Amino acid sequence: MPSTNALIIDAASDTNREELARMIKLYEIPDFVKQANLDFTMNPDGISINSYADPVRQKFACHTAAATWVSGMYFHEKKAEYHPKDRQRIESRLENYVNYWRIRPAYDTLVKQANDLISQELPDSSYAYVWVDDRGGKERYLPLNSSMNIKAAAEWLHKYQDRLPFSDRNVIAKKILEKAGNTGTNLGEQLGEHTEKQAGHGIPDPDEVISMIKQRANLATKATHKEEILKLASAVKNHARIALQPTELVKLAETIDIIDSALHIKGKYTDNIQRPEDVIFKVTFTKAASEQAELCTLQTGSVYNKNQLAKLAKDDVESLFGSDFANEVCTGLEIDSEKMAEIAHTLPTPDAELLEHLLSEAGQNPAFGKTASHEGPPQEVLEALAKLYD
């Protein structure tokens, strides 16, 4: 099986030759390698930088036919340690040396053996995408056996998102996030957010979801199609409590993805016609969790950033809620956002509606959620979604 010793990358770094001892039991060693000088093959001294398949790091020496084959063996065992771009560059240089030394048959046998060993070692769960055809044949793509491969899989998903149905993207993204979490792999802010949305890990603004669906109805040319899409918008609006459940949101994203394909707008998204997942999973769980300490949810279901509460004038608050209330939420003459948030989320609905009115007059709209005059996600739904991330 492939080694997990990341410190030994090529033959020269295998100073105790422990990896070589392991690999000669797994690979068919050609005669020209057996007959070569082992020290000069594995650890040459004074060869030019151009004699390495990885000249940047001076790894994988290819100064002889035997050295090229041995470097190929180490590389195919260790290539998961490299970024895909570096991996491709090194492999290309190896191929050039293979052709130069005319050892193609031996090298191709080596590559096949290496791939077979990797395939035997990794279960289906270690691949982001496993495809089974009608005859039971199986193909596995995007191995997730290293941090580099996990990030490479996320990059691949981003690049080819419009070529896959959302149902497949959802499965792939969930596996990537699971492996990333288990290995502590940091996908980065932009790539991580994209993968979360593909995995269905996000919270929507219901109004935006409904508008998005109606937008698709307006793009439909057939009256029957338009009618069915409008029925979907109506169902989401009238059954928000159900439609906002995580499993239902994923089903909705799958449905809109199918609609977009039928309307020929998939892959042609703009700022006005957004990807379904960017609307349906607008606020990712990671973002929601990071901002949770900065948010204040009122009993009406509207959610505000705490700093918005500080935009209120003490006199206005005092005129509505009284001097005692105003003094309790102020530091000096200014509204204290933390003190106000601590009390605001406990206000009964009538008082919360007054506070929303005051915020609206101050030009402060909810960060997401609905105002009291609209149907919106019930508080228990928002809490349930938030718990999924915890």
Domain ranges of the chain: 18-121, 126-199, 202-281, 286-389
pLDDT of residue 6: 43
Condensed to tens digits (0 to 9), the pLDDT of residues 77-120 reads 888 677 777 888 999 999 999 999 999 999 999 999 988 887 67
Q: What mean pLDDT do residues 201-226 have? A: 92
Write out the two tokens for 146.
């290293």
Lowest-confidence pick of 5-9, 189-193, 235-239, 240-244: 5-9
- Judge whether residue 39 has pLDDT over 50: yes
Which backbone phi and psi does 309 adopt, to 5 degrees?
-65, -30
> Could you give the angle at which helices 246-262 and 166-183 cross, rounded to 10 degrees?
140
What pLDDT band is residue 381 in, cutting at 50, 70 and 90? Answer: very low
Q: What is the CA angle 249-252-256, rounded to 5?
A: 140
Three-class DSSP labels, the chain: CCCCCCCCCCCCCCCCCHHHHHHCCCCCCCHHHHCCCHHHHHCCCCCCHHHEEECCCCEEECCCHHHHHHHHHHHHHHHHHCCHHHHHHHHHHHHHHHHHHCCHHHHHHHHHHHHHHHHHHCCHHHEEEEEECCCCCEEEEEECCCHHHHHHHHHHHHHCHHHCCHHHHHHHHHHHHHHHHHHCCCCCHHHHHHHHHHHCCEECCHHHHHHHHHHHHHHCCCHHHHHHHHHHHHHHHHCHHHHCCHHHHHHHHHHHHHHHHHCCCCCCCCCCCCCHHHHHCCEEHHHHHHHHHHEEECCCCCEEEHHHHCCCCHHHHHHHHCHHHHHHHEECCEECHHHHHHHHCCCCHHHHHHHHHHHHHCCCCCCECCCCCCCCCCHHHHHHHHHHHC
Distance CA 77, CA 80 (A): 8
- Judge whether residue 178 has pLDDT over 80: yes
Distance CA 159, CA 39 (A): 44
| Inter-CA distances, 80 with 132, 156, 169, 173, Å | 25, 16, 23, 20
More confident site: 119 or 326: 326
- Judge whether residue 383 has pLDDT over 50: no
- Judge whether residue 226 has pLDDT over 70: yes
**Cα-only R_g, the chain:** 29
Condensed to tens digits (0 to 9), the pLDDT of residues 345-372 reads 888 888 888 999 999 999 998 876 543 3
What pLDDT band is residue 375 in, cutting at 50, 70 and 90? Answer: very low
Amino acid at 290: S
pTM over 0.85: no
- Judge whether residue 390 has pLDDT over 60: no
Condensed to tens digits (0 to 9), the pLDDT of residues 138-161 reads 777 788 878 888 998 999 999 999
The b/e string for 73-105 (b: 16+ C-beta within 10 A; e otherwise) is bbbbbbbbbbeeeebebbbebbbebbeebebee
Condensed to tens digits (0 to 9), the pLDDT of residues 273-317 reads 999 999 999 988 877 766 667 888 887 778 888 999 999 999 999
- Judge whether residue 240 has pLDDT over 90: no
Write out the two tokens for 126.
């270690």
Mean pLDDT of the chain: 86
